[in-house]
Chain A
Amino acid sequence: MTQEHDKVDGARRSFIGAAAGLTAATVAPGVILHTVAAAPRAEAVTDKVRWGMLIDTAKCADGCTACVQACDRENGLDLQIKPEGASEQMWDRQRAVWIRKVQVQDNLTGRVTNLPMLCQHCEHPPCVDVCPTGASFKRADGIVMVDRHTCIGCRYCMMACPYKARSFIHQVVAEKLTATPRGKGCVESCNLCVHRRDHGEASTACADACAAAGHHAIVFGDLKDAGSAVSKAMAAAVSRQIREDLDLNTGVRYSSI
């Protein structure tokens, strides 16, 4: 691949973004300011809010999987059953996972970093760019998710995602939760506990579990609210995006790496 190919064309992106914005303004000229309430959301989400996370890898404990387990439990991923006859290796590769604990080692210094890896909720999500049906979409409040009603299971988004954040459901799902419908033939990934967002809850399952385990490595909140815990944490600490060379402006950021 040449240097020219690697470079992100920012002007092209902003042109497409402006065109999309113009379309949105024509379609919905009167946007009402929305305030988060405890009751189920009655009005459409707006871009006054952008949900995001700051993960402090220094606080992320070695061997702890509290966030992964909480995510599995919240979204019914722990109800998955290994298909009969499938090998352990195949099941490890194919079972749906929304958060993975990745360990990165600096070969020069030997320093090991724990990196909980999940959907990064990009401002410019490649998965949305490639989706042929519009099933992969970015909600107005910045959550990148899959509309399973329209997903045809082509898995282009899985190939496009630089973070390997998405999973495909290969088997019929026998048990599923009311809050997280999931079934065979669709792609899925972290949706920042969207059902909690729509009921005005403050946090995500993983952030709650991390705090309950005493690590407080995950801070969740509104990136556009300067007073939110996540904005304050980002203002205070050096944070980085994974693959920041792609200019995706991720909603999930990491500090101490």
Chain B
Amino acid sequence: MTQSWKENHALSLIIVGLLAWLVPGGGHLLLNERRRAAVIFVAILLTFLIGLYAGSIGVIDPVGAKPWYAAQVMNSPAVVLLGRWSTTGDYPVYGRPSEIGQIYTSIAGLLNLLCIVNAIYLAHLRGVERAGD
């Protein structure tokens, strides 16, 4: 395997990973896994939206709940924007709605992290297969 192949391969893995983070299921869509991408997109988006519906966008708290926020950001970079809105303090949330909202949005983020890793792994396998042909 040449140096240029390795560089191109690494670049393609980075693109797949970034797309998978940008839109849940985006990495799989790039790999032409349409059904898998659709299932991942719908499941993760619904989980995230249920969390926001239960606890409002106040559950995305980059100041007071950093560990939760780290998991929530794995959903998409768009979560950073929601975090900026919520730091204005206009969306206070406490108690059970806060817990359920944080759990849902964070689990959605961690599930997307699993999908990002899976998309990168699939892209790596395909790249190695193509190089072997």
Answer yes or no: are A and B bound together in one complex. no
Give A residues with C-beta under 8 Å from B.
none
Give B residues with C-beta under 8 Å from A.
none
